[in-house]
Structure 1
Amino acid sequence: MARLLGVEIPNEKKIEYSLPYIYGIGLPLSRKVLAATNIDPNIRAGELTDEQIAAITQAIQGMKIPIEGDLRRELQMHMKRILGINCYRAHRHRRGLPVRGQRTHTNARTRKGPRKTVGAQKSK
């Protein structure tokens, strides 16, 4: 596996689809990086030369895009700030409910988890 910015990317995939394995880089950004470095997006990640890998790394760092640890740390700091000021969003996060105004009467199963059946129990 090729190693790029401390992340193992799969050799058998096209480089265009291998770059999004790096946290913080999606498909559109991957295409921008490859266009900036003049690398064919259809080339396999395992076929890249050392110069091409260096060019991709330099292009990503030149764009000043937060990736991997920096991005995770930044998102964690945002969450800490929200939880610290005790806003409405913080309460929703703490309770594990949808944060952005979605309905919860039905749906919201991803956020709420599996259904918990509430019903009458037989008494002895």
Structure 2
Amino acid sequence: MPYIIGTSIPEDKVLVQSVANIYGLGLFQSKNLCKKAGFGSDSRGSHVTFLKGKFLENLAEATSLPLGADLLRFQNDKIRRLCVLSTYRGSRHRKGLPVRGQRTHTNAKKRSLLKLNVS
């Protein structure tokens, strides 16, 4: 089972969908990456050899976008900065409430349950 940017690629799944599971890549970008790497639209994870997997990983890392753990770290740093500055958005993140102006009277049950531990 090959790994690309810390994400495992299942052998029985379509390769384009598996590459789209990498954090920060969508379906459109994964189609472009697979096409550049020489994989067809019906290729599976079992068709990825070690060299082709490395080539696909190099193509993904060559994009100007942060991917995987780097993107997660970047997003968490932005949230942490808001909390340190004591902004309104930072306090909403700290309390685990909706940040972008959504109502909380009847909705936001899931968001309030998912308390983000950023401090």
Quote the sequence identity (%).
Answer: 34
Aligned to 2:44: 44
- Aligned partners of 2:56, 2:44: CA distance in 1, in Å? 14
TM-score with structure 1 length normalisation? Answer: 0.80
Give unmatched runs, 5+ long, in structure 1: 114-124
Asked whether the equivalents of residues 2 and 50 of structure 2 are also in contact (C-alpha less than 8 Å), the reply is no
1:10 and 1:18 in contact (8 A); partners too: yes
Over residues 35-60 of structure 1, what are the superposed CA-to-partner deviations in whole Å (9 max), with x where a residue is unaligned?
33332121101112334323211211
Matches within 5 A, 1:2-81: 2-81=2-81
TM-score by length of 2: 0.83
Paired position in structure 1 for 2:116: none
CA–CA separation in structure 1 for the residues paired with 2:91 and 2:54? 45
Task: Write the distance in 2 (CA, Å) between the matches of 1:32 and 1:42.
Answer: 14
Contact 2:80-2:90 within 8 A present in 1 as well: no
2:7 maps to amino acid: V
Paired residue secondary structure (2:8): strand
Aligned-pair CA distance for 1:77: 1.0
Q: Which residue of 1 aligns with 2:98?
A: 98
Q: What does the per-residue CA deviation read over 1:65-102, in whole Å, with 9 as the maximum and x for residues that have no partner?
A: 21122112111110111111111101111221110001
Name the CA distance, whole Å, in 2 between partners of 1:41 and 1:52.
15
SS in 2 for 1:18: helix
| Corresponding residue number in structure 1 for 2:117 | none
Further displaced range: 21-30 or 71-80: 21-30
Greater RCO between the two (CA within 8 Å, min separation 6)? 2
